[in-house]
Amino acid sequence: MAIAQVEFPKELTAFVEEWKTKPGNLIMILHRIQQEYGYISREAAETLSRMIDLPLAKIYGVVTFYHFFKTKKPGKNRLAICMGTACYLKGGQALLEEARSILNIEGDEVTDDGLYSIDAVRCVGCCGLAPVLMVGDEVYGKVTPEQLPEIIAKHRN
C-alpha cells in the first residue's frame, strides 16, 4: 500500500523543523497545519509523522481528542455557532438547528456545493452578544433564527 504524501510549503516545513524537538510541539504544529490547509488531512498527518518521527496513531490520537482539529475539509464559509452557557441559554441550540435545516446538513457535513459547514463551538468570548454566530471572522450577535437566511445568503458569493 502506497503511503499518501503531501509536500508542505517552505514556511510550514521550516515551522515543523523549528518545533520538531520542543516540548508540546505536536499541538503547535497541528495548529499550524490546520491554519495552512483549513483541516488536517490524512496525507498531511502522514507527512508530519515522517518529519517528526512520531507514529501516525499518536498524531490521530491528538487530532481526534481535541474538537478544534478537523479531519475533513470545511466549507468555504464555516458557521461557528456558540453553544457556551450564555449563548445556549439565549437560543444557541435553536440557531444550530435552524442553520442545519436551512443548509440541509448534519454534524460536520459540508454542503454539496462546498460553500458551508457548521460547527457548534464552546465559547467565542462574546457572551454579552448572546447568542453569537461567526461566519469566518465575522461576528453576529443577538442572532435570531429568522435572521439566519439573510446572514447565510450574504456569504454565498
Is the confidence at residue 6, as pLDDT, over 60? Answer: yes
pLDDT digits (tens, 9 = 90+) for 9-61: 999 999 999 999 998 899 999 999 999 999 999 999 999 999 999 999 999 99
> Directed axis angle between helix 10-19 and helix 25-37, to 10°?
170
Q: How confident is the model at residue 68 (pLDDT cuts 50, 70, 90)?
A: confident
- Give the integer Cα–Cα distance in Å for 3 and 6: 10
Torsion angle, CA of 128/134/139/145, rounded to 10 degrees? -70
- Give the integer Cα–Cα distance in Å for 55 and 60: 9
- Rounded to 5°, the CA angle 32-65-89 comes to 100
Cell 435572521, located at residue: 147
Distances (CA, A) of 83 to 32, 47, 126: 25, 34, 11
Domain layout of the chain by residue ranges: 10-65, 77-154
Which residues partner with 99 through β-bridges? Answer: none
pLDDT digits (tens, 9 = 90+) for 50-66: 999 999 999 999 999 98
Is the confidence at residue 2, as pLDDT, over 90? Answer: no
Q: Superfamily assignment of 77-154 in CATH?
A: Glutaredoxin (3.40.30.10)
pLDDT digits (tens, 9 = 90+) for 71-112: 989 999 999 999 999 999 999 999 999 999 999 999 889 999
